[in-house]
Amino acid sequence: MKTEVILTSNIVGLGGESDQVKVAAGYARNYLFPQGLAIPLTMANKKQITALQKRRVDREAKELHTMTELASTLSKLTLVIKVKTGEDGKMFGSVTAGTIADELNHQYDAHMEKRKIHLAHPIKTLGDHEVPLHLHHDVDCTLKVKVESSTPLSPEAQAALAAQHAPATAKFGDKEASKGREGRGGRGERPDRGDIRGPRGEGRPGAGEAKEGKKPDRAEKGEKAEKSEKKPKTKAA
């Protein structure tokens, strides 16, 4: 059996102040009314709706301001969570939204509902992770979570972890450098094409001298030919 009530407080999944909703009669009688979270829907109680609406607006404005400030603070910090692992760095268990909420409360006295922590799946690896938070309808942010081992790791595990979280920019630079070497055929750097295609006599070392050296040869051949043509013919004795 359902009964209509007027909510006097915000109830997640049900509504906010001044909302008129239908709920199970037992739920209203045994929980909502005794806790002061709702009142029966009557003509006399309807007069309270305006006051409840104003209270709701004030509450939502305060929540928005509080969550905006919280998001600004959380986005600047890194939450360090210690976990137990084997020497190889494999975690025993995982880090869940509940774990993050508990650590925020314990380390920073920040009370966070775990439903606001949007983990796609539990964290099962050491290192840095980014966790999205949905603090309010209009407020989202990202929390940096660093998962560290509370037990000593082997040198191999430490090296693997360091390589896994190496800066992406360094890796990108190495790839670009290797591509550049491959494009040059591994023969080292070549001069800019602008230098090669410069004015005549410039560019490749010795190019101008080689061309200039050929011209005198052709001229000398031409002069020899002219001399041979101009040489008078002599009659045979």
Which tokens hold the place of 89? 């760095």
pTM over 0.75, yes/no: no
CB 177 within 8 A of CB 127: no
Reduced to 3 states, what is the DSSP secondary structure of residue 72? helix
CB 117 within 8 A of CB 97: yes
Return the pLDDT at 166. 65
Domain ranges of the chain: 2-47, 72-164
pLDDT, one tens digit for every residue, the chain (237 residues): 899 999 999 998 899 999 999 999 999 999 999 999 999 999 999 889 999 999 999 999 999 999 999 999 999 999 999 999 988 889 999 999 999 999 999 999 988 899 999 999 999 999 999 999 999 999 999 999 999 998 888 888 788 888 876 665 444 445 554 555 555 544 444 444 444 444 444 444 444 444 444 444 554 555 554 545 544 444 443
Which CATH code fits 72-164? 3.10.430.100
Return the pLDDT at 159. 86
DSSP track, 141-186:
EEEEEEEEESS---HHHHHHHHHHT--HHHHHHHHHHHHHHHHTTT
Return the pLDDT at 174. 52
C-alpha to C-alpha distances, 168 to 78, 163, 175, nearest whole angstrom: 19, 10, 11
Residue 102 CB neighbour total at 10 angstroms: 14
Return the pLDDT at 217. 52
Reduced to 3 states, what is the DSSP secondary structure of residue 192? coil
- At the top level of CATH, the class of 2-47 is alpha beta
Return the pLDDT at 151. 84
Return the pLDDT at 172. 45
Return the pLDDT at 136. 92
